[in-house]
């Protein structure tokens, strides 16, 4: 079968692979909609270390082709929403703690697609622990909205959860790409008061306002720390969904004592944080710094889909470049890599008939 991926760091194209086979708990799926992610391009450029001959893609809505003999909830022909993070639910450490980093043994072990196995830009792909990871596409939820729930919404909302946004809090969101935009929408749902969003792309700025940003700050028009301190003083919560390693010190400079900084940005393995102790209140500030990645599994994604079904959030608005046909995955991936200024998020719809 064919899949779009990386031959090695920096080189991408169509790969030929064996069709995957299902173990007892697995499902084999055919994608009907996929979306390239900034993280796919990041991995392709070596941001997660060396990788060879790996099919990319971790955001999909798909059709079930075949299930293992222990899978109870799904059958061939079902349309399912595929979380980008698919934990091994039989691991005790994970049962105790949650759905992403809770495998004590290995950082981000639940992020299997692309990371440790072939991704969804393929004619067929495999999902482990199908009963605990997949969700039937609910009636009343569009394929596009469901597709945006599995990573963009789950990650952006996790930033909001880690930041512990409370009613009336002032929140700063670094970055208004698709992840930051979902963090803005999530902060509004959690009852934030002022939401200051940082970014410059005009259509992202428009969508940020629509999703709930009360103010926009441009990092291209002067120091963002000075701008935010002048307009608000220090804030309760900062969510970092864009920027660079320097963003952490900027976040510390604008966060109140007892406040929280939540990072979902994916740094390059070569970057480092150098934090002057004064910024962290000589170690006495009680500013919490958290960082995490997209929670997955069926329970999490059902919650995201419930918000969509009940009209609380409209993540399909992120999709502003639409492609039709499996072969167009290449164009969509290159577009994501090149990131023209008007791109928010591309989608590829695939009809196998």
Structure tokens at 257: 């004592």
Taking CB under 6 A as the binding criterion, the range among 22-30, 129-137, 174-182, 315-323 that sits at the site for ligand NAP is 174-182
Contact call for residue 333 and ligand NAP (CB under 6 A): no
The owner of tokens 């039709």 is: 324
What are the residues whose beta carbons fall under 8 Å from the beta carbon of 173, sequence distance 6 or more? 159, 180, 183, 184, 187, 195, 196, 197, 198, 208, 213, 238, 239, 241
What are the residues whose beta carbons fall under 8 Å from the beta carbon of 94, sequence distance 6 or more? 87, 88, 102, 103, 110
Taking CB under 6 A as the binding criterion, the range among 12-20, 32-40, 188-196, 315-323 that sits at the site for ligand NAP is 32-40
Which one of Zn ion, ligand NAP, none is in contact with 130 (Cβ closer than 5 to 8 A by kind)? none
Across 203-218, b (16+ Cβ under 10 Å) vs e yields ebbebbbebbbbbbbe
Pick the binder of Zn ion from 26, 66, 118, 151 (CB under 5 A): 151
110-149 mask for ligand NAP (x: CB under 6 A)?
----------------------------------------
What would you report as the CA-atom Rg of the chain, rounded to the nearest whole angstrom? 20
Which one of ligand NAP, Zn ion, none is in contact with 133 (Cβ closer than 5 to 8 A by kind)? none
The DSSP element (H or E) to which 180 belongs, if any, is helix 178-189
Start-to-end Cα distance in the chain: 17
Contact call for residue 110 and Zn ion (CB under 5 A): no
Contact call for residue 155 and ligand NAP (CB under 6 A): yes
> Least distance from C-beta 284 to ligand NAP, angstroms?
27
Q: Which of residues 6-65 bind Zn ion (CB under 5 A)?
A: 37, 39
Pick the binder of ligand NAP from 7, 14, 219, 280 (CB under 6 A): 219
CA distances from 317 to 118, 150, 314 (A): 28, 15, 6
> Least distance from C-beta 40 to Zn ion, angstroms?
7
Which one of Zn ion, ligand NAP, none is in contact with 25 (Cβ closer than 5 to 8 A by kind)? none
For Zn ion, the closer CB: 66 or 151:
151
> Least distance from C-beta 152 to ligand NAP, angstroms?
7
CB-CB contact of 241 with 265 (8 Å): yes
Q: Which positions touch ligand NAP (CB under 6 A)?
A: 37-39, 42, 151, 155, 174-180, 198-201, 204, 219, 241-244, 247, 264-266, 293-294
């Amino acid at each position: 079968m064919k899949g779009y991926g990386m031959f090695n760091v920096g080189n991408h194209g169509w790969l030929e692979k064996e069709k995957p086979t299902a173990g007892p708990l697995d499902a084999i799926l055919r994608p009907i909609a996929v979306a390239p992610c900034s993280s796919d391009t990041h991995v392709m450029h070596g941001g997660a270390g060396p990788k060879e001959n790996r099919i990319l893609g971790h955001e999909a809505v798909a059709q079930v082709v075949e299930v293992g003999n222990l899978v109870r909830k799904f059958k061939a022909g079902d349309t399912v929403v595929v979380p980008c993070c698919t934990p091994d639910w039989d691991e005790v450490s994970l049962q105790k703690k949650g759905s992403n980093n809770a495998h004590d043994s290995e950082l981000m072990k639940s992020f299997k697609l692309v990371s440790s196995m072939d991704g969804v830009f393929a004619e067929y792909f495999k999902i482990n622990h199908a009963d605990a990871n997949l969700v039937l596409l609910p009636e009343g939820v569009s394929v596009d909205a469901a597709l945006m729930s599995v990573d963009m919404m789950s990650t952006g909302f996790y930033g909001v959860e880690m930041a512990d946004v409370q009613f009336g809090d002032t929140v700063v969101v670094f970055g208004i790409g698709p992840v930051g935009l979902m963090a803005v929408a999530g902060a509004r749902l959690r009852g934030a008061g002022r939401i200051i969003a940082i970014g410059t792309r005009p259509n992202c700025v428009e969508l940020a306002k629509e999703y709930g940003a009360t103010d926009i700050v441009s990092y291209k028009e002067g120091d963002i720390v000075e701008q935010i301190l002048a307009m608000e003083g220090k804030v309760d919560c900062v969510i970092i969904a864009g920027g660079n390693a320097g963003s952490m010190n900027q976040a510390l400079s604008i966060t109140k004592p007892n406040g929280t900084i939540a990072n979902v940005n994916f740094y390059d393995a070569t970057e480092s944080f150098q934090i002057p102790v004064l910024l962290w209140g000589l170690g006495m500030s009680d500013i919490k710094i958290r960082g995490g990645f997209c929670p997955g599994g069926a329970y999490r994604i059902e919650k995201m889909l419930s918000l969509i079904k009940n009209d609380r959030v409209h993540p399909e608005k992120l999709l502003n470049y639409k492609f039709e046909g499996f072969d167009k995955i290449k164009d969509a991936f290159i577009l994501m890599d090149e990131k023209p200024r008007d791109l928010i998020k591309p989608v590829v719809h695939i009809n196998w008939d």
